[in-house]
């Protein structure tokens, strides 16, 4: 039981971070505004959770301009994808 709990990733304990990673698992990339609409959270809340995932190197971002407005798009890194899969496996084992 203890081993299984160790496999659970603290980064995904939070609903918003779990949501961000779920979206990035099935979409190559997504911009900040679309992500905000999907998750239904505030700018500040989303930004802080994104920063958190960035720090763990689970996601990467790119800044560019769309119609002269700054636009940030996010991607899941390979590390992030693996961590997410491991987290889901841990949950599955827990539910067995």
Partner 1 sequence: MNQEKYLQDIKEIREMMDRSSRFISLSGISGVVAGIIALVSAFVAYQYIYIESDYYTFRAVSLTSDSFWNILVLAVSTLILALGAVLLLTHRTSKKKGQKLWNKQAKRLVASLAIPLFTGGLVCIILIVNGYIGVIAPLTLIFYGLALVNASNYTLDDIRSLGIAEIVLGLTGLYFIGFGLLFWAIGFGLLHIIYGIRMHLKYGS
Residues at the contact surface with partner 1, assessed by CB under 8 A: 12, 15, 18-19, 22-23, 25-27, 30, 34, 37-40, 88, 91, 94-95
Closest approach of partner 1 to the CB of residue 51, in Å:
20
**Closer by beta carbon to partner 1, 43 or else 92:** 92
Complete edge-to-edge strand list for the sheet that includes strand 30-31: 30-31, 69-76, 59-66
Contacts 24+ apart (CB under 8 A), 45-52: 45/16, 46/16, 46/20, 49/14, 49/16, 49/17, 49/20, 50/20, 50/74, 52/11, 52/17
Closest approach of partner 1 to the CB of residue 54, in Å:
19
**Closer by beta carbon to partner 1, 26 or else 70:** 26
Closest approach of partner 1 to the CB of residue 38, in Å:
5
């Amino acid at each position: 039981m203890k081993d299984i709990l160790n496999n659970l990733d603290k980064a995904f304990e939070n609903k918003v971070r779990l949501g961000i990673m779920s979206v990035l698992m099935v979409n190559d990339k997504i911009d900040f505004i679309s992500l905000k609409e999907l998750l239904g959270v505030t700018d500040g809340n989303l930004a802080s959770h994104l920063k958190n995932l960035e720090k763990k190197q689970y996601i990467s971002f790119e800044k560019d301009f769309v119609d002269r407005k700054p636009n940030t798009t996010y991607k899941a890194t390979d590390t992030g994808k693996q961590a997410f899969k491991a987290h889901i496996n841990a949950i599955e084992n827990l539910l067995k």
